[in-house]
Each structure stands twice: as structure tokens, then as C-alpha cells.
Amino acid sequence: MDFLYILFPVSGVKTYIFIPPLVALIVSFFTSMGGVSGAFLLLPFQMSVLNYTSPSVSSTNFVFNIVAIPSGVYRYIKEGRMAWPLTWVVIAGTLPGVFIGYFFRVKYLPDPKAFKLFVGCVLLYIGSRLFYEMTGKAGESKKKMNALEEKFRRRIAELKEKNKERIASGLPKEAIVRTISFNLSRVEYEFWEERFSFSTIGMLTLAFIVGIIGGTYGIGGGAIIAPFCIAVFHLPVYTIAGAALMGTLLTSIIGVFFYTIMPANNGLATSPDWFLGFLFGIGGFIGVYLGARMQKFVPQKFIKLMLGIVIVFLATMYILQFFM
């Protein structure tokens, strides 16, 4: 097994060559069902387990997103579950934020300790809000979502019954996302014969803030924007997952460009470790595809619970690290 233990010269990481893709596969399989690539969990893994702490870890995380996400995006597009207006709004907001995030990372926050506290507080709020949405005390706004979930569950049960020997790959026509209106004030779309809408300016503002955070840490932003879309804008997770992944993919491409081309202060290493990022990405590519394929068979409540637990755990870890 020693011949599989290698040194990655750019990052200085020493590990077995199969560890990065294996970890990425497991993480991305579960997180992609909620529109999250898994980069927000791989970053702490690289820093805490692999001891990769220079600013280039952020750009390496972006490489993971670039390799891993296309498989999931393809699946959501193929099944008609890509909410394109939401996708374009998310992209328009996050791209300028990524540029600002790069400068925060290399100029003002080469030591991420203080910024982790801020990110931890934001994630703690999101995770808490997700748990609140599951308590049944969130008010009348949950009734339509619960009805949609029940309709989806019944229809998927029918599909599985008709396809006992294989997993059903097709979706009924009601499960296709259809745009109703798209303008500067509001976006409205239909899914499962129910209409959902959100403020364009509100989503742009959220995406811009997420872009700054994602650009700084190399997470793309899906880990933040997906739960916000669920908890604050009350959009069904089945329709926001693809948009969050697409937004993360494009902002990651721009992020790698900034970290590779733009100058850094004091000789900081900012260019990605391409080989390490590629290995993470290969595992993520498989995990994201499988997660996107399986998402329609997993109850929305479970996806919320899974995201909530992971996000609160990560937030707690970030906050505690600031005081240690």
C-alpha cells in the first residue's frame, strides 16, 4: 500500500491517492440532494485532516466543484428540474461577490480564523431556521409545501411500484419546472401544479453576499444559498437544488481564474493544487450524479434534517475554533 501513499507537491499534502476521491464521493452524494456540492465539508477536511491551510486550499476547493458538479447539473437539466430564472439570478449576484471574496481572502484574511466566526454565525442561523421549519410551528406557509411533498411522495411511490426491478428514471409531466414570469421585481414558476415566487432583488442581494463568502472560502456558495432558498424564500428543495449547483459551478470557474491570475500579497500561495482538486472532483462527480438521481426518492423533510445537522455541526466547529 505504500506505493499509493503520495506527496502532492503544490499543497504539500501527503495521503493515500484513493482518500480524496473516496471522501468526496461520500460527502457529495448526500449533500448534492440539497443542492450542495459538498465543498463546504471538504474544506475543513483538507485543513484539519490533510493539514492544507494556505489560501490555495480555497482555489483547490473550486477545482473540486468544477470537476464534480457537471454530472449533477446534467441530471437536473435532463429531468426538467432546473429552475432557470432562479439560476440566472443566483449567478448574476454571486459572480461580483466572488471577486470581492478573493481580495478578502488574500489581502485581509490570510488567516481565516476571524472570518470563520462570521461564517459560523451565518450557518448557525441557517441551520436553526431549517430546524424551525421542521417543527410544525412555522405557520400557514408550510401548508402548501407539505401538500406538495405529499403529492410528490405518492407519485414517486407509484413509479417505484411500476418499476420494481429498477429505479424509475422518468418523472411525470407535473414535476417539470415551468417559468410563469421573470422580471426585475419578481420571479414566479410552477412545479407540481403549485406556484412559487421570490423577490428578484432579494435573491440578488442574498447571492451577492453568498458570493463574497464563497469566494473567500472556495465553497461556491451552494451550502449557504440552498438552505436560504428553502427556509427564507420557501422554495421547494426539488427545484432549488439544480439552480444552486449550477450557480456554484460557474462561480467556481471564475474563482479559480481569480486565484490563479490575480496577484497576492507577501508571496502567498493562491493557485490551486490541480491534481489534488481533480482527485476530489472525480469522487464528487460520481457522488453528485448519484445524489441528483436519488434526490426524488428521498423525502424533503429528511433532506432538510440532513442539511440542518451538517450545517449546525460545521457552524459550531467554526465558532469554537475562534475561541480556542
Given pLDDT bands bounded at 50, 70 and 90, which one contains residue 197?
very high
Best CA proximity match to 25, nearest among 4, 45, 6: 45
For 58, 114, 277, 311, the CA distances from 119, given in Å and listed in that order, are 15, 9, 23, 11
Tens-place pLDDT, residues 34-51: 667 778 788 888 887 898
Convert 29-56 to b/e letters by CB count within 10 Å (16 or more is b).
Answer: bbbbbbbbbbbbbbbebbbeebebebbb
Q: What 8-state DSSP symbol labels residue 14?
A: E
pTM: 0.78
Tens-place pLDDT, residues 198-255: 999 999 999 999 888 888 878 777 777 877 887 788 888 778 888 888 888 888 999 9
For the chain, what is the total number of helices (H) and then of strands (E)? 11, 5
Tens-place pLDDT, residues 20-37: 999 999 888 887 776 677
Angle at 161 between CA 156 and CA 166, to 5 degrees: 90
